[in-house]
Amino acid sequence: MTPPPLPQRILIVRLSALGDIVMASGLLPALQARFPQAEISWVCESMCVPLLKHNPRLKQTIVWPRAEWETMWKTRRYLALWRAMRAFRARLKAERFDLVLDAQGLLKSGLVAWATGAPRRVSIIAREGSHRLVHEVVTPTPGADPVMGSEYRYLAHYLGAPTGSFVHDLAVGASERVRAQQVLRERLHAAWQGTPTDRPLVILAPFTTRPQKHWVEAAWAELGRQLLARGLQPVVLGGPADREAAERICAGQPHLLNLAGALKLDESVALIAQARLLVGVDTGLTHMGSALRIPTVALFGSTRPYREGPTPLTRILYDGLPCSPCKRRPTCNGAFTCMTGITPERVLQAALTQMELSA
């Protein structure tokens, strides 16, 4: 029996979120190793594009215009919505993808995969009925692989990718690197009143989407103070919505820099890439530190997306209380003891140990 031809045009469907895009990025070198002749595209929401657009392994990133469609729906512009959806499907079909990977496994991602009309569509852990929209479903054994990105690595293995080819793959844009360095220099100059400083850069990533994943603001402030006392330069990083919380953390410490909202997403990637250490909660920026092989301390409590980083440079702090991980259903009435029980001293010690590993 003649084996099927190797795919020439591959599409990855992982629409969101930032951390999951980071963890799925290892599919790119794995697919390139397995199918070196193939062009690889990725479809995602617009907010995730900066994580992918600089990657030379990708032919293109295709934006799934979720926000535009939702606006049309809410304003009852149903005809415009139908036309937009039809045009999006036509674009996908025109690409003539012959292998589509639904790396999200939800109804929305399954519908995008189905819209391509590809002759082979493979989904990982299909949920919400999305198994009806694909030809194959890949289901890893829960907990079998403790390392970051395990489900995507399983998918790569299922497709025949060589062992070891799944390596997280974040590319840094050249102009973004320059911009990140410029902003950092300006903020350092202002904070230290022109005094030159070559302190090693430490990224603090305190912010994420759900309160039960947060660490206490006072603990971040104390960690920043202790890092400064040891000759390091901590920088609080986050998005525009995090500015106010970052200001509270940095209050009274002029040398604890607040860059929340000061950088675009790919500029944040560039800044992380030049750091000596990253400390963060379960958020995309923390996963970027691990993916970029930066010494990283990840604080997990209500969630635990993985038990080990891709290398020993990542250290997980997780106490494993009887109620954790509770994910989206906390039972502690807002006490969040899984996170409040982690002390700044413990985090500092873990951070210093991780820095020694890369010395």
Could you report the per-residue pLDDT of 159-201, keeping only the tens digit for each? Answer: 999 999 999 999 999 999 999 999 999 999 999 998 878 999 9
Could you report the per-residue pLDDT of 88-121, keeping only the tens digit for each? Answer: 999 999 999 999 999 999 999 999 999 999 999 9
Q: Set out the domains of the chain in order of their start, with CATH numbers.
A: 9-158 (3.40.50.2000), 175-357 (3.40.50.2000)
Q: How far is CA 227 from CA 164, 232, 349, in A?
A: 35, 5, 10
CA distance 138 to 144: 14
The three-class DSSP label of residue 262 is coil
Quickly state the pLDDT bin for 4 (edges 50, 70, 90): confident
Cβ–Cβ < 8 Å for 281, 304: no
Quickly state the pLDDT bin for 1 (edges 50, 70, 90): low
Could you report the per-residue pLDDT of 257-291, keeping only the tens digit for each? Answer: 999 999 999 999 999 999 999 999 999 999 999 99
Token readout for 163 is: 């062992």
Could you report the per-residue pLDDT of 23-45, keeping only the tens digit for each? Answer: 999 999 999 999 999 999 999 99
Quick count: other Cβ atoms within 10 Å of Cβ 60?
13
Quick count: other Cβ atoms within 10 Å of Cβ 188?
20
* DSSP secondary structure code for residue 258 in this structure: E
Could you report the per-residue pLDDT of 209-248, keeping only the tens digit for each? Answer: 889 999 999 999 999 999 999 999 999 999 999 999 999 9
pLDDT given for residue 143 in this prediction: 85
Could you report the per-residue pLDDT of 245-257, keeping only the tens digit for each? Answer: 999 999 999 999 9
The three-class DSSP label of residue 123 is strand
pLDDT given for residue 242 in this prediction: 96
3-state helix, strand and coil shares in percent for the chain, rounded to the nearest 5? 40, 15, 45
Could you report the per-residue pLDDT of 294-330, keeping only the tens digit for each? Answer: 999 999 999 999 999 999 999 999 998 999 999 888 8
Token readout for 214 is: 């947060």
In sign, the C-alpha dihedral spanning 323, 324, 325, 326 is positive
CA distance 271 to 307: 25
CA distance 352 to 297: 10
Query: Is the confidence at residue 142, as pLDDT, over 90?
Result: no
Taking residues 143-156, what's their average pLDDT? 95
The partner residues of 308 in beta bridges, in order of sequence, read: 147
Cβ–Cβ < 8 Å for 180, 255: no
